[in-house]
Structure 1
């Protein structure tokens, strides 16, 4: 009874904390039209945190083993219902409700059809991949089927974000990748931007003058007869000297140059602020951290390549393996079981905190970039869908970082899955994402304007 109360209290506490946090931060500038939508989003967040909490409970031995198994099943079933049934249906319903030409009585039937289409695509995602160990897991409504397909999508998203982040973080934080910006560079671009703006204004004045003379000539011709016709001849000579179409083409070219100069001015100001920030204590700290992540990125690319070529998947968690190496090579007499439990606890805790924090920061930036009062419900539901898949996949991959005795209940709950496939798939997508990011950032860095290029504008 006390165990059940502690789990329920924990879930309610996370739900209430998430509700308050998201309402005060993420959605404070946007109108969320339906509280039910926010409730679904916060419930997905609470269940995601609950899965990580259960992993920590598994390591420290909190709660009864059978009760933990029941809670694991409850959390995963609720997450499957949300990700596979509730959220896709609500996305379709919210999407169709925004169309005025769709009659209200047709919204729900059409939403059901969209959900059936999603369910078909969701099912077909798992067909090309060896995600299940045996044929008896081919039941349509089994947990293995749902988790296996969620894992494919979630692991793909995680690997893409990890590959880009491992490359982009050193690039944005290390001083060696920052372009030096002199005050004269910014002043030069500002002067040229003002110069082009003045030229555009002058040419628009000339066009306005020509248009006014045309209207004056037309009125004179209509009111004075022959004398008006003679004045129209003089007007034609003025129009021949000021070709309006030519002026419009010149204005178009100048506006394009002004736009490029304005964007370059914004980039220069941002780079100047980055250079000033890099001289602070915080900037120097992140610069050192960038070297660490650069080494991690190189090591991860190397080890991912080795894993793909030799079809290698680790069987022992990194903590236990590291302790065994220390005991063997350094002749250290320590209790491997004791220290692997405690180090695993802190490692999993760090992974949980960084995963939740990183995902919330990414979610916040994404929401601010594309959300509006009209589309906020749809975007919120889509983010809830991605969040559910992301954190379920995190549990799949995090299982490998746990000692064998702590993996058993997670293996039993998640079902008859090919866990090694997800690690290989992560390595493949990570390698593609990291190499693509390196090539893209290299090309952008090479194309960045220097002082000589700025003077050529």
Structure 2
């Protein structure tokens, strides 16, 4: 009876995760693109659901929720399903939709899709040769063989994203890299803006007075009669017209200056909001896992928006599902080492005889390379776009 209750809890949570992935990601983030294939939407949502379930099981391990045998069963089933999706289903459908976009191969798309999948499996299998990740005694399609190779790819992606995020986040939010904005700076800029607006109003009054004077003298609406009348009218109205033209040019210049001052004032206010948001954000350390997942999904979404089109959208969504699944599987490998020994027994039994220390060393190396490369990239970008000096 307890197994049925535990299974109902897990199935309910997976349905909720699936629904969240389906409604939010497919109906909100990808609604502007032609992701009309239901199989793509289902694969993405299922991958998201089982990825979140692994984190749920980690929490259950720590809190001792569910029976130990139930947790072991759902760990095993969850890993089998996610590996089936990442190694067999997603690569096949990626090849299928790539072939479907090529007219010459359209009739034989199933055959060429199988050939692409076999090519993927060859390189996926050869990926494990250079790394000391597994004992050779395990079978070809065992969980250990598959998860060891998925782990290499996923840990590499995690390290690359973490290295860039560790550099980019302080660069974006820390006050050291922001403009030093004080209340006096804002007040001075607002004073300049008000003075500019007063000058604009004053000059527009002068223009109105000049037009009124010209109208009273009959220099505006009186049409010239004959050649000599035309010459006389133009000669009489020339000084007023020149004054109006000069004043209008000055007004146009002042209005452009006022727009620039307004935008700069708004930028100073926004910069000073950023300063306080940094201190507030440090209070929210407790939601680091949630923000990590959110950051990954936002990065993937930006990547999707940047390169997606009507023909490639299905392939891009499947690639995002592949990256997301590998990312979460690798997170389990790394989180396991940070858990106390009594909480990781079942996880170790399910994952098998993997070289867990290798993944941590590999993560450190890739993280260091990614962070140093990001520092160099942001340094060059910062030098190419120097800070705009404050207007006196």
TM-score by length of 1: 0.63
- Alignment correspondent of 1:123: 125
- Alignment correspondent of 2:196: none
- Alignment correspondent of 1:88: 91
- Alignment correspondent of 2:114: 112
Conserved in 2, the CA contact under 8 Å of 1:154 and 1:389? yes
> How far does residue 286 in structure 1 lie from its aligned partner after superposition?
3.6
- Alignment correspondent of 1:103: 106
Q: CA offsets per residue over residues 422-445 of structure 1, 9 Å max, x none?
A: 000010001011111111211221
- Alignment correspondent of 2:157: 157
- Alignment correspondent of 2:204: none
- Of residues 2, 6, 9, the one that matches 2:5 is 2
Q: CA offsets per residue over residues 56-76 of structure 1, 9 Å max, x none?
A: 111111111111111101000
Matched, 1:277 2:270: yes
1:101 counterpart SS class: helix
- Alignment correspondent of 1:313: none
In 2, Cα distance between equivalents of 1:82 and 1:286: 40
Q: CA offsets per residue over residues 81-130 of structure 1, 9 Å max, x none?
A: 100000000000000101112232x1000000000000010011111111
* Runs of 4+ that moved beyond 6 A: 180-183, 269-273
In 1, Cα distance between equivalents of 2:130 and 2:266: 48
- Alignment correspondent of 1:41: 44
- Alignment correspondent of 1:29: 32
Q: CA offsets per residue over residues 316-359 of structure 1, 9 Å max, x none?
A: xxxxxxxxxxxxxxxxxxxxxxxxxxxxxx99x84542332222
In 2, Cα distance between equivalents of 1:27 and 1:409: 37
Alignment of 1:9-408 (within 5 A): 9-104=12-107, 106-132=108-134, 134-137=135-138, 139-178=139-178, 275-280=268-273, 283-288=274-279, 350-408=287-345
2:103 counterpart SS class: coil
- Alignment correspondent of 2:259: none
Conserved in 2, the CA contact under 8 Å of 1:37 and 1:377? yes
1:18 counterpart SS class: helix
Q: CA offsets per residue over residues 36-67 of structure 1, 9 Å max, x none?
A: 11000000000000000001111111111111
In 2, Cα distance between equivalents of 1:377 and 1:35: 10
Change (3 A) 1:450 1:413: closer
Change (3 A) 1:363 1:6: same
- Of residues 430, 448, 451, the one that matches 2:367 is 430
> How far does residue 156 in structure 1 lie from its aligned partner after superposition?
0.5
1:127 counterpart SS class: coil
2:21 counterpart SS class: helix
Number of residues of Structure 1 aligned to a counterpart in Structure 2: 309
Conserved in 2, the CA contact under 8 Å of 1:69 and 1:409? yes
Conserved in 2, the CA contact under 8 Å of 1:52 and 1:352? no
Change (3 A) 1:275 1:371: farther
Change (3 A) 1:83 1:270: farther
Structure 1: which 5+ runs fail to align? 184-268, 294-345, 453-457
Conserved in 2, the CA contact under 8 Å of 1:179 and 1:271? no
- Alignment correspondent of 1:243: none
> How far does residue 178 in structure 1 lie from its aligned partner after superposition?
3.5
CA RMSD of the aligned region, Å?
A: 2.7
Change (3 A) 1:58 1:451: closer
1:356 counterpart SS class: helix
Change (3 A) 1:439 1:21: same
In 2, Cα distance between equivalents of 1:147 and 1:434: 26
Change (3 A) 1:451 1:57: closer
Structure 2: which 5+ runs fail to align? 190-261
In 2, Cα distance between equivalents of 1:117 and 1:404: 40
- Of residues 380, 388, 391, the one that matches 1:443 is 380
Conserved in 1, the CA contact under 8 Å of 2:178 and 2:271? no
Change (3 A) 1:54 1:111: same
TM-score by length of 2: 0.73
